[in-house]
Amino acid sequence: MKIGVVGAGNIGGTLGAKWAAAGHEVVFGVRDPQKSSAVDRVAAMAGEVRLGTSAEAIAHGEVVVFAVHGAAVEALVDANAAALDGSVVIDASNNMRGASRHALDHLRERVPAARLFRAFNTLGWENFAEPMFDGVKADLFFCGDEEERATVERLIADVGLEPIYLGGTSEVDLVEGMTNMGFALSMRRQMGRRIAFKVLGI
């Protein structure tokens, strides 16, 4: 799959490296590809990876993942709307001080033909780097447009996580609830960053 990862930091760099190792073609987008702090990190990655501008990453991606400061996402969507329309777009960013933590509403308005997902925003990056907990695979809760669900499930599985589909984008508050639970346990209950969730059933 051709994946554009906008942002090559903790989240983008961790996810993109896993996808490249799994055989996907990854282009990372940053503000200045020559001066980015991600130059050495991307050069050391295995597989088909390249560092470029955000526009290059978005133009490359059949799937585009936003993994930048949450407040930067809307402007990136506006500047690249034509290239994004029709793509599978995954919003992994958290706009902590914005009116909405996710950009799905903005995306739906500006890129109506894109297939939208909210995923990879609920857990700390360390848990994407190492998704196994004492032999148990962590779950990743996500929502998005049913027709491309299998595509996103594959990408979640390629990171090493178990995908748990919560439904269409109308279920985004459930995903945000998992983020809230993660923050509550990790920070307020001081359980640390190496925590994740598992659905049990028989």
Ligand X SMILES: NC(=O)c1ccc[n+]([C@@H]2O[C@H](COP(=O)([O-])OP(=O)(O)OC[C@H]3O[C@@H](n4cnc5c(N)ncnc54)[C@H](OP(=O)(O)O)[C@@H]3O)[C@@H](O)[C@H]2O)c1
Q: Is 12 in the site for ligand X (CB under 6 A)?
A: yes
- Pick the closest to residue 168 from 150, 191, 145 (CA basis): 145
Q: Does 6 help bind ligand X (rule: CB under 6 A)?
A: yes
Binding-site member from 80, 94, 151, 169 for ligand X (CB under 6 A): 94
Q: Does 67 participate in binding ligand X (rule CB under 6 A)?
A: yes
Q: Does residue 80 touch ligand X according to CB under 6 A?
A: no
C-alpha distance across the termini of the chain, in Å: 34
Determine, following the binding rule CB under 6 A, whether residue 194 of this chain makes contact with ligand X: no
- Nearer of residues 38 and 88 to ligand X, judged by Cβ: 38
- Chosen residue from 3, 4, 5, 7 binding ligand X by CB under 6 A: 7
Size of residue set near ligand X by CB under 6 A: 26
Residue 65 in contact with ligand X, rule: CB under 6 A: no
Smallest separation, CB 147 to ligand X (Å) = 25
Residue 54's nearest CA partner among 45, 185, 136, 38 is 38
Helices (H), the chain: 10-21, 39-43, 54-60, 73-79, 81-84, 104-110, 125-129, 149-159, 172-183
138 binds ligand X (CB under 6 A): no
Tokens representing 33 are 């590809």
CA 28/CA 147 separation, integer angstroms: 25
Tell me the helix, strand and coil percentages in the chain, rounded to 5: 40, 20, 35
Residue type (1 letter), 68: V
State yes or no: residue 83 binds ligand X (CB under 6 A): no
Binding of ligand X at residue 8 (CB under 6 A)? yes
Residues near ligand X (CB under 6 A) = 6-12, 29-31, 36-38, 54, 67-70, 72, 76, 92-94, 121, 124-125
